[in-house]
Structure 1
Amino acid sequence: MKNKASGRFGPRALSVLSNGEVLLYGVIGDDWDGLDSATVIRDIDALGDIPELHVRINSPGGFVHEGLAIYNYLVAHSAKVIVHIDSLAASMASVIAMAGDQIIMPQNASMMIHNPWDVAFGEADDFRKKADNLDRLKDQIVGIYAARTGQDAARLSELMDVETWMTAQEAVADGFADEIAEADTAAAMQRFDLSLFNNVPETVSGAVLAGRDSAAAMADLSAGHATRSDQMPKPNVANGTAPADVANPTPAVDPADQPQNTVDAATIAKEATAKERARVSEIQAAVRAAKLDNDFANDLIAQGVSIDQARAAIIDKWAEADNTPEPSNQVRASVTSDGVDRFRQGATMALMERAGLDGGERNEFTGLNLRELARESLNVRNISSRGMPVMEMAGMAFSPRNFGHHSTSDFGNILADVANKSMLIGYEEAEETFKHWTSKGVLTDFKPTKRVDLNLFDNLLEVGEGAEYQFGTIGDRGETVMLATYGRKFSITRQAIINDDIGAFTRIPRKMGRSAIRTVGNLVYAILTSNATLSDGVALFHAVHGNLAGSGGAPSTATLDAARTAMATQKDPDEKAAGGLNIRPAYAIVPAALRGTMETAISSEYDTAKGDKKLPNSVRNMAEVVSEARLDADSATAWYLAANPNSTDTIEVNYLDGMDTPYLENREGWDIDGVEMKVRIDASPSVLGHRGLYKNAGA
């Protein structure tokens, strides 16, 4: 049974495995398709130690960071990774394909590369920051393509700028694939909304078959959701058109035949798309809340019913499943277990509605206060509470097992469901900064584990005619990491129920959710401020490591340039990189007191310290500024630089099985009259390498 507190694996808890192969069929990072990185990595881990890992791709792309997580995992996998482009590897899917030790494309398959895109809101500086972030993402992707194909980065950048589509023959010729297989007419299992792209060849747009869920997910991408803002697919804004309908794609229309009022047409199309997307999401949410299967939701969506009609259909579905007669005032009917489940579902949604949580719904339980709900939880179990003192009734509702009817409290579980949702909202609302510049790791147990990183491979040697190739060597280095558990308990008492204190299981869990992520943040920044000792016996920031400024100085063009130089000239431990590792800073991490100084130093057009507006600022926009108040408590002057964690080892935050959200458990109270709830998270931040980190003590 899936952990209710996590929700990590999406609404369907899909598996990407089929006959021992990995199927990336759909939108990368979309949990409804089951292609979020946590699900993909979890399912591949389940295969254990295998000599070969076959990955089949048919995808229009997806979310950049989710795709990078899958790519990095495949690159690090011990098996030989064989990638099959079954039909389409576009956008972020083409990046994942580059993880293959061998890449195979049928003759009728296609690949597409283009620039990442995003949606921004705010002032001019907000747009500049977003543009800078997109440039950094593009540089990462160009680096991945260049490493796999051997092509020049400048040429790859040009290909991405114009959105380049490749046949299998072209992909092999340019190094994006290794082998061409026979055409497979059954390979294209889904249709994707390719109207989001600009230069789709006719041979591609007519070749891909129908698939409802992936098209819906791509329509969701085109809306530019604020919570997942690093999408690769780009809508064709120039055409001003909404994504084409999946089942009946709209044929292309000559621009000359378009009506004059194109702006109104575009507006109508966008509004229609938004309404359809809202209808689909509301139906899916209502069906999930009713604990009905996804096929039922898909049928309702396909029928084109409204959300009100869908809710009526849900009630009819419940009625079909339960033929128990309605209890009258004179005779109490025996309620089946299905009736108990429906009470729990209805009461949960009613409490969520009262608490203002998403997924709540007005129903027959909405008008009941907590005391009345507690009594109803006993009635639905045929436990009489008539004439019982209210304190005794509330206590019985929390622990009816004492009366031999069931092993857990229905009422306690209802409160726990709502508390869990409140906790996760608090977790998501917390404004934590460490996620911006750290990487996420997965540990499967609490045993000490060595995180190993490979050094550089030997430089290639000239091989003369008839001469023998020589073997190269590659070293490694590592740090030991180990998970720890952090948690707290709280309780909901009979008094809270009698007083109808709904905040007891909404506000408190919400605060505990924030506390969970705050605890992880405390651990991350403690690594920086405590200057932890690494496995080589040397402190993280030390002259021996070449990542500590010799003399402190406030952020300026000069001090930032010196820091950038120190990171770029970090030495490979095996001395195989001539000059240095060329590590680039991606983040400037500062206490709140230094935020303005650092942003001025990095964003100014000229060197502010020199006061000469003719002298350009050589460090302009070299890194994204991350301001963290925890650093002020240690030093209001010290500042740090960090490299991109996807390209250089810095600090990794490990979670048990990749579960980065807190978990809530409940039980009937022993020391208190009520229910006890425990919030915990299993996490451990660790330093993987010192070369991507730099410190200046400031002045």
Structure 2
Amino acid sequence: MQLLDLIETYNAQDATAERLYAREGRRVRGGRNTPNYKQSLLEAARLYEGVVNGRIPGWRLQEAMTTSDFSFLFGDIIDRQMLAAYQHTAVMWRNVARRGVVRDFRAVDRFTLDGGEAILSEVKQATEYPAAAVQDGRYQYSVKKYGKRLPFSWESFINDDLGALRDLPTRLANSARFSEEKFFTSLFASSTGPNSTFFSVGNANLVTGAPALSVEGITSGFNTLAAQVDTDGNPIYVNAVWLVVPPALEITAMNIVNATEIVAADGGGDGTGNNQLRVTNWMRNRVQILVDPWLPIVDTTTGNSAWYLFADPGVGRPAMEIGFLAGHETPELFMKSPNATRVGGGLIDPMDGDFDTDSVDHKVRHTFGGTLMDPKSAVASLGTA
């Protein structure tokens, strides 16, 4: 996708706040919602794209950077391209976890109610209706600030190849996305296998026998998930699940879920000869595959064998939630303000770098958090049997 296409996905109308200032630097995103600003931004984007693609000589960009406003527009280009790349990157965790928004860095509570859904009792004539009990539950988490700096030298900017700038937006976007995905994986997996507090015998969400990924294993996983009941003893309806596997099990998972039919014993024999059932693969409409490349990185013990079933978060009992700080729900890019002053006076171009080393410094900030929630909506197998 070309730079202009990326920028068009994040219009100037979507960034209406004026430039923000912070101790560490100047907020890059401009957001001047005027026709002149939009036109100038488009011209700057065309110039930058032409230089990156080799259609326009690099000195044109260097010359433009000396004009009064181009450095701010150039910052907006990088910021918008980063956000566009971030938004276009495939999202993994949203298939399994609920998305939330929090107001500040303090711990937030997520309350749940369970009960009050037991089967109705018969009420005899002139007798009092029985009272029902409702139990509340609480989950708590807080968001944290994550980020890093990406400095580059004034000399590398002057060089015509623009190697220090071409990949900067994509790298920043990938860094933010990778941070979310690893955090998500680290919620339900640890270095020794599935989270032992969440997936436990007490929660009845470990597949008995730790079967390897197979038709029989997934069947056992479904049976384990189906055996969960609420506080009133009612079954929990789960119509669709996500099968989360590491890359090492991707082909196995695809072969199982995408098979046209399943050959199985009829329940009384060994499944050979005529003693077989050929059934349409019921998993094709019930199971969706999610390949998590972070599993073998986070789980260094069973990361290539363990597999998970998560109920769709839309069922009302999400297994986990990932939350973002209100007003800061996407990565934010900052540029360090110049700390030098020209002897003859006048404004300093941020792309001239700092006083001591002529370095140009960008900072990306991303704020998020999350927590595990209802263990009744997930099962895990070590996959070691």
On whether the aligned pair clears a TM of 0.5, the verdict is yes
Structure 2, unmatched stretches of 5+, are: 1-6, 17-29, 51-55, 266-270, 339-353
Q: TM-score, normalised by structure 1?
A: 0.42
Distance 1:609 1:489, change over 3 A: farther
Q: Determine whether 1:513 maps to 2:198.
A: no
Residue number in structure 1 paired with 2:23 = none
Read off the aligned partner of 2:164 and give its amino acid letter.
A
1:637 aligns with 2:301: no
Once residues 452 and 368 of structure 1 are traced to their aligned partners in structure 2, the CA distance between those partners, rounded to angstroms, is 59
The alpha-carbon distance between structure 1 residues 681 and 290, as it changes in their structure 2 partners (threshold 3 A), is closer
Larger Rg: 1
Q: 1:461 and 2:121 equivalent?
A: yes
Q: How does 1:238-257 map to 2 (within 5 A)?
A: none
Q: What amino acid sits opposite 2:170 in the alignment?
A: R
Match of 1:657 in 2: 326
CA distance in 2, matches of 1:693, 1:440: 17
Query: Structure 1 residues 614 and 550, CA, compared in 2 at 3 Å: closer, same or farther?
Result: closer
> In 1, are the aligned partners of 2:253 and 2:289 still within 8 Å (CA)?
yes
Higher helix share: 1
1:678 corresponds in structure 2 to 363
Q: Cα deviations across residues 24-59 of structure 1 (Å, max 9, x unaligned)?
A: xxxxxxxxxxxxxxxxxxxxxxxxxxxxxxxxxxxx
- How far, CA to CA, are the matches of 2:175 and 2:368 in structure 1? 13
Task: State the partner residue of 1:141.
Answer: none
**Equivalent residue, structure 2, for 1:559:** 217
Determine the C-alpha separation between the residues in 1 that align with 2:186 and 2:15.
38
- Counterpart of 1:597 in structure 2 is 252
User: Which residue matches 2:63?
Assistant: 372
**TM alignment of 1:466-615, pairs within 5 A:** 466-530=126-190, 539-572=197-230, 574=231, 576-578=232-234, 580-607=235-262, 614-615=277-278
Per mean C-alpha deviation after superposition, the further-off stretch among 675-684 and 450-459 is: 450-459
- Asked whether the 8 Å contact 2:228–2:236 carries over to 1, the reply is yes
Shift in Å at residue 511 of structure 1? Answer: 0.9
Who is 1:392 aligned against?
none
CA distance in 2, matches of 1:501, 1:551: 58
Q: Deviations over 1:87-119 (max 9, x none)?
A: xxxxxxxxxxxxxxxxxxxxxxxxxxxxxxxxx
Say if 1:518 and 1:538 are closer, same or farther in 2 by CA, change over 3 A: closer
Corresponding residue of 1:435: 94
- 1:291 is matched with which residue? 33
Paired position in structure 1 for 2:111: 452
* Partners of 1:423 and 1:499 in 2: CA distance: 22
| Residues in 1 aligned to 2:13 and 2:123: alpha-carbon distance in whole angstroms | 52
Distance 1:549 1:474, change over 3 A: same
SS in 2 for 1:665: strand
Give the direction of change, closer, same or farther, for the CA distance of 1:672–1:686 in structure 2 (3 Å limit).
farther
- Please, which runs of 5 or more residues in structure 1 have no aligned partner? 14-287, 293-313, 315-341, 358-364, 378-409
CA distance in 2, matches of 1:436, 1:355: 36
Q: Does 1:693 align with 2:378?
A: yes
Q: Write the distance in 2 (CA, Å) between the matches of 1:630 and 1:533.
A: 13
* Residue in 1 that maps onto 2:24: none
> Which protein has the bigger strand share?
2
CA distance in 1, matches of 2:196, 2:245: 23
For 2:150 and 2:169, how far apart are their aligned partners in 1? Answer: 8
1:510 partner amino acid:
T
Distance 1:498 1:559 in 2: 59
Change (3 A) 1:487 1:674: same
Do the aligned residues in 1 keep the contact of 2:141 with 2:371 (CA within 8 Å)?
yes
CA apart distance, 1:668: 1.8
Identity across the alignment (%): 21
Cα distance in 2 between the residues matched to 1:532 and 1:544: 18
What CA distance in whole angstroms lies between the structure 1 residues aligned with 2:15 and 2:73?
Answer: 22
Whole-Å Cα distance in 2 between the matches of residues 544 and 649 of structure 1? 19
Deviation of residue 366 (structure 1)? 10
Change (3 A) 1:558 1:501: same
Within 5 Å, give how 1:300-379 maps onto structure 2: 342=36, 347-356=40-49, 369-377=60-68
**How far apart in 1 are the matches of 2:57 and 2:31?**
15
- Counterpart amino acid of 2:65? A
Residues in 1 aligned to 2:31 and 2:324: alpha-carbon distance in whole angstroms: 28
- Find the residue that maps to 1:472 and give its secondary structure: coil
Q: Determine the C-alpha separation between the residues in 2 that align with 1:550 and 1:367.
A: 64
Task: Report the 3-state secondary structure (helix = DSSP H, G, I; strand = E; otherwise coil) of the residue aligned with 1:415.
Answer: helix
The amino acid that maps onto 1:643 is A
The one-letter amino acid paired with 2:62 is R
* Aligned mates of 1:581, 1:437 — CA distance in 2: 17
**Partner-residue secondary structure (3-state), 2:321:** strand
Conserved 8 A contact 2:58-2:161 = no
